[in-house]
Structure 1
């Protein structure tokens, strides 16, 4: 048997109590169980640690030697644990907020608000097109929060390991060049875009399948879909090469208008995720509130989204 800290604590408790019966009570053990444990410890150390008598127990020379070392080791270990906890708390405070997100305006807005609310803490970001990659990094404690999205009611990644809360849900809009024949419409039927090429940012969720299904319900199959980065999507729309799919909070951009699809056939849920057993859990309520405020501000800046919200029966999900 290897000697452990709990064995040293047992030896110290017996010496302090002066009897096995009192020590057993203090340790919450039955006296026979403590006697058996003491015999195992004595075998591991090579000799008796206490002399038993009618008046109780007293340490043998070997017992005095072990007790002297235990009275040094046990406080040192306790101090180490307390210092480690203080160090961890201080390091976490200095570390600040590590955010992971897919490309979009909400991540930048959240960084801005966190930096303003906590000017003494660092805010760092990691971006990826893959919601699964970001969620996995949060689950492995390499990131503190994930700000991602899912199509419709689909489950977010790492759902069993992370806590997910909805920031908001948006209808999916279309981006059109200002010269497009439908640019002035209040709403656009998806079927009216049957002859268009499309552009969208990539992802590893089900959005592509949901879009294809929505087109099928509208009576057509999209002729082509360009999956590329946001800047390239905007360019393809600006030059009239394609119409784009975007969240309703997409910020105004020169040469482009965004318009809702009639009946909101597609919608997007913005989600914030964190691990429930890391220190991020303590600040999750604040981060979620800030993310929701960022979304509300983005929605208010979009004239087309504000106009859609004012329509009778406007709703998603």
Structure 2
């Protein structure tokens, strides 16, 4: 049997998992099938790669040699594949944009289409910032338009170039008949008794929100993590209050208000691979993204906050 790339992946998976059972689960195989494949690999390499024990498996000297080579070869081959994809698609016209939920991706598409009519623009969306970034790193996408909480690092920091599009305080969504809806800003502690709703993500935003609540003196009693439309519905019917970006679009029955002191901050980020052909277009895409942010902010559900603040000031001074 000739050694193949998939055989090295199996050996690495077994070593990383520390047991055949866990490795089989990670690889999506039945344990007997994995054991059979491992035995064939060991025969091809001339000896046992792992010592089996009650506590799992441990690499033999031969296994350590194979693992040492595998940990060099597998990333190198993955990088080769990604570079080949970028090279093969380098001459393709158009923009391949990836983004998470929110109005900026649509605004970016609109601005590019207006500036470069006839140039194809394709989009890919996911709740996972990491998935979008991996698509850019692998050459499947040209640009990632995602977000990061506070000063947290964006995904794939060592492989992609990132620039900040804008930085916004996180707002709270309320039903327009909520007792606090007419306030210019709201203390987080005033919402201690509320249920909350938010969209999923794989960054640290959930942990940062929980920490901000603890600093405000409470622990959220209930957090509904669901899609954007369901979040809006729960807010509209008064079942929960929601967390949103300052660019959240104006929506019937909902207002967005900043939290006093800005306990949570959201950074809009644009990422690209510095070695990709599309990298030369990054300055223009960044300018479009910043323009899309400014337009979204002007149309946002918090657009009436200034008027509310001015009315409150006027009432206090009259």
TM range (shorter): 0.5 to 0.7
Figure out how many residues of one structure are paired with residues of the other and give that number: 225
Q: Aligned pair 1:202/2:200, yes or no?
A: yes
Tell me which structure has the larger Cα radius of gyration.
1
Indicate the RMSD between aligned Cα atoms, in angstroms.
Answer: 2.2
Where does residue 176 of structure 2 map in the other structure? 178
Task: Give, in whole Å, the separation in 1 of the partners of 2:213 and 2:224.
Answer: 16
- CA shift, 1:95, in A, is 3.4
* Closer/same/farther in 2, CA of residues 201 and 309 from structure 1, 3 Å limit: farther
- Structure 1: 5+ residue stretches without partners: 1-87, 312-317
Task: Give, in whole Å, the separation in 2 of the partners of 1:243 and 1:266.
Answer: 16
- Structure 2: 5+ residue stretches without partners: 1-85, 310-318
| Structure 1 length-normalised TM | 0.68
Post-superposition Cα deviations, 1:81-125, rounded to whole Å, max 9, x if no partner, equal: xxxxxxx99975653000000011000000111111122211000
Counterpart among 250, 259, 263 of residue 265 in structure 1:
263
Where does residue 211 of structure 2 map in the other structure? 213
Where does residue 51 of structure 2 map in the other structure? none
- CA shift, 1:156, in A, is 0.2
Task: Give, in whole Å, the separation in 1 of the partners of 2:127 and 2:146.
Answer: 9
Q: Aligned pair 1:229/2:262, yes or no?
A: no
Q: Please list, as runs of the form range in 1=range in 2, the aligned pairs for 1:101-180 lying within 5 A after superposition.
A: 101-180=99-178
- CA shift, 1:308, in A, is 5.9
Secondary structure at the aligned position of 2:170 is classed as strand
Counterpart among 274, 292, 295 of residue 294 in structure 1:
292
Where does residue 50 of structure 1 map in the other structure? none
Task: Give, in whole Å, the separation in 2 of the partners of 1:303 and 1:247.
Answer: 10
Where does residue 71 of structure 2 map in the other structure? none
Post-superposition Cα deviations, 1:222-281, rounded to whole Å, max 9, x if no partner, equal: 001011111110000001100000001101000001111000000100000000001111
Assess if the C-alpha contact under 8 Å between 1:260 and 1:308 holds in 2: no
| Structure 2 length-normalised TM | 0.67
Where does residue 29 of structure 1 map in the other structure? none
* Closer/same/farther in 2, CA of residues 195 and 91 from structure 1, 3 Å limit: closer
Secondary structure at the aligned position of 1:95 is classed as coil
